[in-house]
Structure 1
Amino acid sequence: MNLRDLRYLLALADHRHFGRAAEASHVSQPTLSTQIRKLEDELGVALVERAPRKVMLTEAGAEIAQRARNVIAEVEQMREIARRAHDPESGTLRLGLFPTLGPYLLPHVVGPLRARYPKLELLLVEEKTEALIARLREGRIDAAVLALPVDDEGLEHAVLFDEPFVLAVPEKHPLATPRGRKRAALSLDTLQHEHLLLLEDGHCLREQALDVCHLAGASEKDGFRATSLETLRQMVAAGVGMTLLPVLAVKPPVPPQPNLRLLPFAAPAPKRRIALFWRKSSARAAFLRGFADVLARLPAELLRLEARE
C-alpha cells in the first residue's frame, strides 16, 4: 500500500466516476482502475461497487477512504512542518472562501497579501460554508474565511472584521431617495412586515438575513430564492422586491447597479462577523495568525456606507 494508491481511492470517492477521477489524478483511466484493483487485492476486500454509469464505495471502502484522508492529511502536515522549518512564509496555502464574500473581499486583500508574502502561492477554493468546513476538517484546504458562528471544536479562529448589511431597494421604492440627496439611516424597525428576497438554502447569507428578518419582524418573499448574490441584485433592480446585501458587495470595484438604491442602517446596524479558521492541529497555526492580521487590515471606509447616494 502506498500514498499514491490512497490518493487514487480518494479521487474515486470524490468524483464517483473512474474517468473523472483519473483526470483529476493526471493518470489514464486504466492505470487508476488497475491500481484500485491492486489495493483491493492487497486489503482482501472490495472497495468499490462498479456500475456502468456511476461508482459507489462499499461500506468498507468508505471507511478506508476516510482513514486514507486522515493519513494523507497527516503526511501533508509533515511536509508542511519541513517547509515551514526551511521558510515559514513560502509554499502553498489553500484558502477557502464562501461565494457571498470571496469575490468582494479578494480585490482588497490579494495585493497586501502578495506584498507581505511574496513567496507564498495562494490557491483559492470557493464553496458554500458546509463544504468548506468539511474540506478543512479533512485537510483538503489549510484555512477558510467563514462567518461566525461555526460550531466545530477541532477548529481555531481569528476574528477579521464585522461586515454590516445594507438594504437594497428598487429605484422607485418609497424608501428610496433621488440620487445625490441626503437621507437618514434606517431603523431596523423599517423592515417590519416587509418581505425580502433571499438566497436559496445552503448559503450562510440566507441564515444571516433570516436572523435579521426575525429581529425586525420581516419575512421572506414567497416563491423566489436566488442562487447567487448577483441574481438578488438584478431582481431588486428589476423591481421585484428588496433584499439585504453585505457592504463589501456594493463597494468598488463592483459597479453601481442602475435602478437600485442602497440604504444604510442606523447603529447598531445588522452585520455578520467574519473570521479566519484553521485546524487546531495545523502545523501552520502561528503563520495563519499572522496571515489573519493582514486579512483584517481593511480600510474602515470599505466597511461602511454613508447615508447618501
Structure 2
Amino acid sequence: MIDKLEFFIALAQAEHFGRAAEECGISQPTLSAAIRQLEDQLGVVLVQRASRYQGLTPEGQRVLEWARRIVGDTRTMRDEMRAARKGLAGHIRIAVIPTALAMVQKITEPFQARHPAVTFQILSRNSLQVLSLLENLEIDAGITYLDNEPLGRVTSVPLYEEQYHLIAASGTPLADRESVTWREVSDLRLCLLTPDMQNRRIINQHLLEAGVETKPTLESNSMIVLFSHIRTGKWASIMPRNVALSFGFPEEIQMVPITEPQTQHLVGLVATHREPYTPLVSALLHEAATLANANIF
C-alpha cells in the first residue's frame, strides 16, 4: 500500500499520468494500475478521468492528506531505524528563498562537520514553492520568511531579521547619504526580484505604505543578476544588508539604510510539523536553534 500511496502523491503533484510515472521510475500502465488498485482497496474513486487526468475527486483530496501523513511517517520510521543501526546519515533537501541562499552555509557547514555522513541538496525557490515542496514531501526543510505571509502547519526556528538597505554604486544618487526613505528610493533606476518573490512583495508593500509605486526597470529571480547590474553604476537595488555583505562588495558599492519606516522581517528554518521528526530533520532543527541562539547569523 505504501508504494501505491507514493504513486498517488506523485500523480497529485504532477497532474499528469505520464509525468508522474516518469518521476516514479515506472511505466504509465503500471502507475495507472496501481492507482486503480488503491481505489479498489479503499472503495472510492480518487481520480477524475476522461481521456486524461482531470483532477482529484473530493475523496481523492482527503486520501491525499492521509497519504502524505502515512508516507511521511513511514519514511521517518525507516530513517530512525537506519540511524539506530548506522548513526546519523543520509541526504537533506532544503529549499531556500533567494535572499537567504548566502546564509545557508552557516547551517550546512557546522552540521556536516558534526555529521560527516550527511549530504545536502540546496534549491532556490520562492516562499510559496518552499511550502508546496514541504507539503508534497519533496524537501525536508525550507528557509523562508516567518512573519509576512501565512505558513500553514509547520515547525519554525527563527534565524535572523532582514534589514533593508539601498545598494548603489558610489557617486550615484543617494549613495552618499547616511540614510534614505522609501519614498526617495522609488525615484531611482531600480533592479529588483520578480513579483513572485516574497521579498519583492515586501518591498512593494513598504513603497505603497510610503505613498509611491514600484517602478523597477529590471527584474530577475536571481540575486547574481541584480548584483551584476548594481556594479555597472546604472542601477540601484533594495535588498537585505546581510545578503549584500555576503557577496563581498568592493568599496565603490554603498549600503544605505532605508528608514521611515525602518523595517525588519524574520527569516527562519521551517519543517513540516509532525511527531516524531525524522532523525535528520530533528538534528537539523536542533542545529539551527543552537546557531541562532549563538547569534551566528
Band the TM-score falls in, shorter-chain normalisation: 0.7 to 0.9
Unaligned runs of 5+ in 1: 177-182, 304-309
Of 283, 288, 292, the residue aligned with 2:288 is 292
Q: Which residue of 2 aligns with 1:27?
A: 26
- Whether 1:274 and 2:273 are equivalent positions in the alignment is no
Q: Cα distance, 1:223 vs. partner?
A: 7.0
Q: Cα distance, 1:3 vs. partner?
A: 0.9
Alpha-carbon distance in structure 2 between the residues aligned to 1:98 and 1:8? 28
Q: Which residue of 2 aligns with 1:73?
A: 72
Cα RMSD of the aligned pairs, angstroms, is: 3.7
Alpha-carbon distance in structure 2 between the residues aligned to 1:89 and 1:297? 23
Alpha-carbon distance in structure 1 between the residues aligned to 2:273 and 2:38? 32
- Identity over aligned pairs, percent: 25
C-alpha distance 111-147 of structure 1, shift in aligned 2 (>3 A): same
Q: Which residue of 1 aligns with 2:130?
A: 132
- Whether 1:186 and 2:179 are equivalent positions in the alignment is yes
Alpha-carbon distance in structure 1 between the residues aligned to 2:233 and 2:256? 19
Alpha-carbon distance in structure 1 between the residues aligned to 2:29 and 2:195? 39
Q: Cα distance, 1:88 vs. partner?
A: 6.5
Alpha-carbon distance in structure 1 between the residues aligned to 2:87 and 2:208? 45
* TM-score w.r.t. length of structure 2: 0.77
Q: Cα distance, 1:147 vs. partner?
A: 1.7
Of 187, 204, 215, the residue aligned with 1:221 is 215
Q: How many positions carry a matched residue from both structures? A: 290
Alpha-carbon distance in structure 1 between the residues aligned to 2:26 and 2:107? 36
Alpha-carbon distance in structure 1 between the residues aligned to 2:155 and 2:105? 25
Q: Cα distance, 1:146 vs. partner?
A: 1.6
Does the CA-based 8 Å contact 1:193-1:219 persist in structure 2? yes
Does the CA-based 8 Å contact 2:186-2:213 persist in structure 1? yes
Alpha-carbon distance in structure 1 between the residues aligned to 2:143 and 2:201? 17
1:154-194 deviation line (CA, Å, top 9, x unaligned): 32322212233331235652223xxxxxx553244673663
Alpha-carbon distance in structure 1 between the residues aligned to 2:117 and 2:221? 36
1:104-158 deviation line (CA, Å, top 9, x unaligned): 2234543322212212233334322122223334544332212221544632322
- Whether 1:204 and 2:198 are equivalent positions in the alignment is yes
- Whether 1:163 and 2:159 are equivalent positions in the alignment is no
Secondary structure, aligned partner of 1:264: strand
Secondary structure, aligned partner of 2:63: helix
C-alpha distance 298-166 of structure 1, shift in aligned 2 (>3 A): farther
- Whether 1:261 and 2:253 are equivalent positions in the alignment is yes
Q: Which residue of 1 aligns with 2:14?
A: 15
The residue identity in structure 1 corresponding to 2:60 is G
Q: Cα distance, 1:72 vs. partner?
A: 1.1
Secondary structure, aligned partner of 2:104: helix
Secondary structure, aligned partner of 1:206: helix
- Whether 1:48 and 2:47 are equivalent positions in the alignment is yes
The residue identity in structure 2 corresponding to 1:39 is L
Unaligned runs of 5+ in 2: none
* TM-score w.r.t. length of structure 1: 0.75
The residue identity in structure 2 corresponding to 1:186 is S
Most deviating of 166-175 and 26-35: 166-175
